[in-house]
Structure 1
C-alpha cells in the first residue's frame, strides 16, 4: 500500500468517526435542549434556619443561594397584604387570634421571631410590599395566597402590588403566584395573565388524573403537589401538559435526592442546602 493511499484511507476513517461523534453530540444537545437544572425554593424563606415568613428567613434564603423563596399572603383587618402562614397568629407570634381580626398596626406590635430563638426576637410580620421592595432583583418569589376565600379581593390587591412595581412582566422578574384554592388561581390568572400561576394539591391516594392536569393547564403554568405524590411518571405527565412542577415540602436529604432523580423542576424546602450541598 502506497503512503498516499494509506493517508487517504485513514482520513476517511477519521472523518467517519468524527461525523458519528458529532451526530451523537448533536442528538444529546437536542435531547437536553429544554432541560433546566432543578431550582431550590426556600419554604417560607430558609425556615429551617430562621423564623418562617420573616425578613430574616428571606435574607437567609438569599445568603444560601436559593433561586427563589416561597411566602404566604393574607390580609389584615384594614386591608394590608401581610406575610404569614397560619390564619391565626398564635403559633408564630406572641399574640393570639385571627389574622384578619388585627389591623396592620396591631400586627406590627407582635414578635414574629422570638418563638424560633432569642436571636430573632423582635422580627416583625412583613407586608408583601416590603418583601417585594427588599428582594426584587435579588431572588425569585413564589407567592402563595393563603385561604383567599377569607379575604375577598385579595387577588386584585396582589396583582396591583406586582403591577405597581413593574413585577408583572415575566422578562423583568421571576414571580409565581400559587394557591390550594384553584378558583382563586383562575381569578388571578384572569386579572393578570402575564404572571405564572401554580396549582397546589395536598396528598391524594388516588393521585391526579390526566383530566385534572388538562384542566389545570388551561390556566396554570405549574402543578405543585405534595412531594409524596411525585413519581417519574407523574413528572413526565405534568411536562406533557406543558406545566412544570415544584413539589413541597422537603425536610430531609433523602427526599431531596429522590425528587432530583425524578426530574422535577424545583424543590420547595425548609433547608436549601439539602437540595444542593454547595448552597449554604
Structure 2
C-alpha cells in the first residue's frame, strides 16, 4: 500500500507524481502548475463548479477537464443501498425532502438531482456507488468519502464489498482512496481492506495538528487531508516526516491553488479542476 503512495505504475488511472520542493511556476492564465512535477488534481464531488455535485454529469466533466481523480460522498438508503450524495438530507440538492437514510433507493432515484444547479441538468439523478464504479473504473481515480458513517452501521463493509466485487481492492490495478472525518470508520475500513489507501479528513482547528495525532494516524492512514486553511509548508513537511501525504480541501479560487502548490501539497481537492494544470500525459 505504501508503495502506491510513493509511486504509480504506467497504467495507473489516478496519476500521481511526487512533489519536489522548488521549481514552481504559474501559467500566464493564472492556472497553478509546476515546471516538472504535478500534484494530484482531485475534482471535489466531481467538477462541481461546472455541474451539479455528486452526479454523473459532474464526474464526466471532471474527466473531460483531465482531473486525475474525482471525490464523491457515500451514504446508505433505507433499504441498504450505497448512494452518492453529500448532505444527510436530500433537500438542498434535489427536488425532494427528507433524510437519505429514511428513503429507499427507488425513492431516491425518482428525485431530480440536477435542476437546482441549472435547468439543463434536470435529467440527473442520485447515482449509486456501483454505478459510478462501473462507469469510471479504468478512466480515472476515485476518492470515496464515507459520509456520516455513524448513521449507517456496516457501511465500511458494504463499500469494501463493492470494491472487491469489481477487483478494485488491488491498488496495483485500480486507483481508489477511501477517507472520512470519522477516523474510527477509516480504521475499520483499513482493517477490512488494508491494501486500499485511506485518508483522515480534518476540519479547521486553531490548535493545528499535533505530533501525537500524526503518530496515531500513521498506524493506518496514507493521507492527512485537512481544511486548506490549516496548510502551510511546515505542516506539509511534518506530514511527510510521518510518511504520509496531504490533499487539502476545498479550493474554489486560483490563489488558494497556487498557495497550496507553494506549500508543497501532494494533491488539491477543488471544485474547479482547471485551476490546477493537468498532468502532461493527460
Question: Structure 1 length as normaliser, TM-score?
Answer: 0.86
1:278 CA drift (Å): 8.7
1:137 is paired with a residue whose SS is: coil
Contact persistence 2:67–2:278 (CA under 8 A): no
For 1:114, what is the secondary structure of its paired residue? Answer: coil
Shift of residue 36, structure 1, vs aligned partner: 5.1
2:97 maps to: 96
Cα shift at 1:275 = 1.5
Matches within 5 A, 1:172-183: 172-183=173-184
Deviations 1:146-191 (A, max 9, x none): 0000000000000000000000001111100000000000100011
Aligned twin of 1:44? 45
Superposed, 1:4-83 pairs within 5 Å as: 37-83=38-84
Give the equivalent residue in structure 1 for 2:154.
153
Q: Secondary structure of the residue that 1:61 maps to in structure 2?
A: helix
Q: Is the 8 A contact 1:182 1:199 kept in 2?
A: yes
Q: Supply the distance in 1 between the matched residues of 2:279 and 2:255 (Cα, whole angstroms).
A: 16
2:169 alignment partner, SS class: coil
Give the structure with higher Rg (CA).
Answer: 1
Distance in 2, Cα, partners of 1:61 & 1:171 = 23
The residue that corresponds to 1:222 in the other structure is 223
The Cα RMSD (Å) is 1.8
SS at 1:58 equivalent: helix
CA contact (8 A) 1:246 1:264 kept: yes
The structural deviation recorded for 1:276 is: 1.8
| d(CA) in 1 for partners of 2:113, 2:236 | 36
User: How many residues matched?
Assistant: 249
Match of 1:236 in 2: 237
Give the corresponding residue for 1:202: 203
| Distance in 2, Cα, partners of 1:169 & 1:48 | 31
Which structure would you say has the larger RCO, counting Cα contacts within 8 Å and 6 or more residues apart? 2
Which is richer in helix? Answer: 1
Cα deviation, 1:50-72, whole Å, max 9, x if unaligned, reads: 00000000000000000000000
CA contact 2:66–2:278 (8 Å) conserved in 1: no
Match of 1:25 in 2: none
Distance 1:221 1:128 in 2: 23
Q: CA offset at residue 246 of structure 1?
A: 0.3
In the alignment, is the contact (CA less than 8 A) between 1:36 and 1:265 conserved in 2? no
Q: 1: distance between equivalents of 2:106 and 2:158?
A: 19
TM-aligned CA deviation for residue 75 of structure 1? 0.1
Residue in 2 that maps onto 1:212: 213
Compute the TM-score of the two structures, normalised by the length of structure 2.
0.86
Q: Does 1:86 align with 2:93?
A: no
8 A Cα contact 2:41 2:269, kept in partner: yes
| 1: CA distance, partners of 2:269 / 2:278 | 15
* Counterparts of 2:279 and 2:231, CA distance in 1: 25
Cα distance in structure 2, aligned partners of 1:110 and 1:66? 28
CA gap of 1:274–1:32, structure 2 versus 1, over 3 A, is closer
Match status 1:129 vs 2:130:
yes
Gaps of 5+ in 2: 1-18, 22-35
